[in-house]
């Protein structure tokens, strides 16, 4: 062991929360030589990467799509391990199947010849799709080279890395939607590529145009499924934590922190146990950490208003006694007016009358998640985060559930209600209670060019010198690959700070 790594062994790191960002940070810090302990409120690791089993059906409660698996692979490779020894992944085809009210069905496929055929079906010239994907690819390379890989956080970081002249390449004067319609003329493809913003729970009409980098993540690096269900990622990371000697404390809710002269001195667990820490990494979102654990005053909390929560969702798990052969693994049932859907959720902050629906039928790729001859469906319409001054009651969520099921029946899933033999539903209230997510947000901080220009909070606290953050509320934002990358980047920040 080197002198520097020996010194880090004397540093006690407390990680608050065992979501994917917290697990990635804990693994990375242990690999760097720190003594790491993880404190998790719930009885299992994984955070929103969660699992629900009932009556022979198995549902991924949280993330359902794996992209950029190379960010996960790094965690294993840095310990001399192979990710494939912990869980297996396979590519999904098509990436998505998209259903429209007029009966049009369009698949997203990474193969250029198949995508060209789907484009023609949508009434779009294939060369327009190629031009859009080239535009998206350029944006991805730009964003990936600095914002993702270097973990840039502040305006100073961006000026130093990119230089002012490169800023024009970000397409800064346009929204994501404007970037889409500049290249694509088909309303079908406009809706499809606008809805890539689902990855960060935001609106294509408010997000900056550089978020059009998102399609490249799939078209270049593919879209993956974890055999047996995505929760196997959490189980694999749990094994790696054990092998690295990281202590994971379940059913251990961090309820406060003690401070002294601008530093965190200890965390408080389950309201009573005081655990000293030299460094604290919060996988709890930035706003609840400051508000609930540190009781910061209103003046400071107002400085965080630009980091508004991303949207929430109604999570509906349906076990069926039949199969719908027209479904792919991943499906979208589009609103008849997607602009109205976006405006309802993100501007008016009301439950949409006609939402765009994400539907996962994992049984199309994995027969182990449902009884033979049956489908298990996860259905997710985006809805606003919780508004304390405008509470939504159970009847409103129930009415949305009914509208969603009726919409799916109308768009091809005939007699769906008659075939439901098991049902489980989560609302934003449940999501907030389970994960302490800020106002029930699923994706951390909203991506809005008018509020935060798409950027999240910095990973290093401006308030406490030894407090760091990881997860969807800090850069680079929400989604499995981004929070896994964030954990690695926050480790690098800590090591540099700790020199």
Non-local CB neighbours of 82 within 8 Å, separated by 6+ positions: 76
- Integer CA distances (angstroms), 237 to 108, 234, 323, 488, in order: 31, 5, 33, 14
Residue 98 domain-assigned (yes or no): no
The structure's pTM equals 0.96
Dig out the tokens for 271 from the structure.
């309201």
Give the CA count within 13 Å in the CB-facing half-sphere of 11.
22
H or E element, residue 53:
strand 51-54
Radius of gyration for the chain, computed over Cα atoms and rounded to the nearest angstrom: 22
Is there a single domain that holds both residue 248 and residue 297? yes
Dig out the tokens for 208 from the structure.
């900056």
Backbone angles phi, psi at 413, to 5 degrees: -90, 75
What pLDDT is attached to residue 168? Answer: 83
Q: In what order do the strands lie in the sheet with 254-260?
A: 254-260, 263-269, 273-276
Residue 161 domain-assigned (yes or no): yes
What pLDDT is attached to residue 154? Answer: 86
Residue 110 domain-assigned (yes or no): no
User: Domain end: 222, 253, 277, which one?
Assistant: 222
Pairing of strands 420-426, 315-320: antiparallel
Is there a single domain that holds both residue 249 and residue 216? no
Residue 355 domain-assigned (yes or no): no
- Look at the chain and report how many structural domains it folds into: 2
Is there a single domain that holds both residue 206 and residue 244? no
Are the CB atoms for 422 and 57 separated by under 8 Å? Answer: yes
For residue 39, the SS3 value is strand
Is there a single domain that holds both residue 286 and residue 259? yes
Dig out the tokens for 8 from the structure.
């880090």
What pLDDT is attached to residue 167? Answer: 81
DSSP state of 439: G
Q: How far apart are CA 28 and CA 235, in angstroms?
A: 17
Is there a single domain that holds both residue 254 and residue 294? yes
Residue 9 domain-assigned (yes or no): yes
Residue 430 domain-assigned (yes or no): no
Residue 358 domain-assigned (yes or no): no
Give the CA count within 13 Å in the CB-facing half-sphere of 252.
20
Residue 314 domain-assigned (yes or no): no
Dig out the tokens for 235 from the structure.
């189980």
Non-local CB neighbours of 340 within 8 Å, separated by 6+ positions: 352, 353, 354
Is there a single domain that holds both residue 132 and residue 44? no
Q: Which domain holds residue 208?
A: 116-222
Show pLDDT as tens, one digit a residue, over the chain (499 residues).
344 455 566 799 999 999 999 999 999 999 999 999 999 999 999 999 999 999 999 999 999 999 999 999 999 999 999 999 999 999 999 999 999 999 999 999 999 999 999 999 999 999 999 999 999 999 999 999 999 999 999 888 988 999 877 888 999 899 999 999 999 999 999 999 999 999 999 999 999 999 999 999 999 999 999 999 999 999 999 999 999 999 999 999 999 999 999 999 999 999 999 999 999 999 999 999 999 999 999 999 999 999 999 999 999 999 999 999 999 999 999 999 999 999 999 999 999 999 999 999 999 999 999 999 999 999 999 999 999 999 999 999 999 999 999 999 999 999 999 999 999 999 999 999 999 999 999 999 999 999 998 999 999 999 999 999 999 999 999 999 999 999 999 999 999 999 8
What CATH code is carried by the domain that includes residue 289? Answer: 3.50.50.60
Q: How far apart are CA 8 and CA 21, in angstroms?
A: 21
What CATH code is carried by the domain that includes residue 173? Answer: 1.10.405
What pLDDT is attached to residue 268? Answer: 98
Is there a single domain that holds both residue 21 and residue 77? yes
User: Domain end: 190, 207, 222, which one?
Assistant: 222
Dig out the tokens for 204 from the structure.
């294509």
Non-local CB neighbours of 305 within 8 Å, separated by 6+ positions: none
Is there a single domain that holds both residue 60 and residue 81? yes
Is there a single domain that holds both residue 86 and residue 231? yes
Is there a single domain that holds both residue 231 and residue 82? yes
What pLDDT is attached to residue 1? Answer: 33
User: Domain end: 222, 256, 289, which one?
Assistant: 222
Is there a single domain that holds both residue 84 and residue 231? yes
Is there a single domain that holds both residue 121 and residue 200? yes
């Amino acid at each position: 062991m080197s002198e520097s790594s020996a010194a880090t062994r004397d540093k006690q790191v407390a990680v608050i929360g065992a979501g994917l960002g917290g697990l990635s940070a804990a693994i990375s810090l242990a690999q760097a030589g720190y003594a790491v302990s993880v404190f998790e409120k719930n009885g299992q690791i994984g955070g929103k990467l969660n699992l629900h089993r009932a009556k022979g059906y198995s549902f991924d409660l949280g993330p359902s799509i794996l992209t950029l698996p190379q960010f996960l692979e790094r965690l294993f490779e840095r310990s001399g391990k192979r990710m494939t020894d912990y869980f297996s992944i396979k590519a999904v085809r098509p990436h998505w199947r998209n259903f429209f009210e007029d009966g049009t069905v369009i698949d997203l496929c990474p193969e250029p010849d198949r995508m060209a055929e789907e484009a023609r079906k949508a009434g779009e010239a294939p060369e327009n799709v190629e031009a859009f994907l080239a535009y998206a690819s350029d944006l991805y390379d730009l964003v990936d080279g600095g914002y993702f890989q270097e973990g840039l956080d502040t305006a100073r970081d961006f000026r130093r890395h990119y230089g002012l002249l490169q800023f024009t390449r970000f397409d800064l004067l346009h929204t994501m939607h404007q970037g889409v319609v500049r290249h694509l003329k088909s309303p079908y493809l406009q809706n499809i590529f606008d809805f890539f913003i689902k990855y960060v729970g935001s609106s294509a009409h408010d997000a900056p145009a550089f978020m059009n980098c998102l399609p490249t993540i799939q078209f270049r690096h593919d879209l993956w499924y974890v055999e047996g269900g995505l929760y196997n990622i959490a189980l694999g990371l749990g094994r790696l934590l054990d092998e690295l000697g990281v202590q994971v404390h379940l059913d251990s809710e961090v309820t406060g922190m003690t401070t002294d002269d601008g530093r965190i001195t200890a965390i408080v667990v389950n309201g009573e146990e005081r655990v000293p820490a030299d460094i604290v990494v919060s996988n709890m979102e930035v706003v609840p950490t400051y508000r609930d654990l540190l009781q910061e005053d209103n003046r400071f909390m107002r400085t965080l208003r630009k980091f508004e929560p991303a949207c929430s969702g109604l999570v509906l798990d349906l076990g069926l006694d039949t199969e719908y052969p027209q479904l792919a693994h991943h499906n979208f049932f589009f609103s008849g007016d997607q602009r109205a859907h976006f405006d309802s959720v993100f501007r008016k902050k009301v439950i949409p009358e006609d939402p765009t629906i994400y539907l996962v039928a994992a049984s199309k790729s994995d027969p182990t998640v449902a009884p033979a001859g049956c489908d298990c469906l996860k259905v997710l319409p985006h809805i606003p985060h919780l508004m304390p001054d405008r509470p939504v009651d159970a009847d409103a969520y129930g009415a949305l559930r009914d509208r969603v099921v009726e919409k799916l029946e109308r768009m091809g899933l005939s007699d769906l209600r008659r075939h439901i033999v098991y049902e489980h539903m989560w609302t934003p209230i449940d999501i907030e209670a389970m994960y302490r997510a800020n106002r029930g947000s699923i994706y951390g901080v909203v991506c809005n060019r008018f509020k935060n220009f798409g950027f999240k909070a910095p990973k290093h606290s401006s308030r406490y010198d030894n407090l760091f953050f990881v997860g969807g509320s800090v850069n680079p934002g929400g989604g499995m690959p981004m929070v896994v990358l964030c954990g690695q980047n926050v480790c690098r920040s800590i090591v540099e700070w700790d020199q």
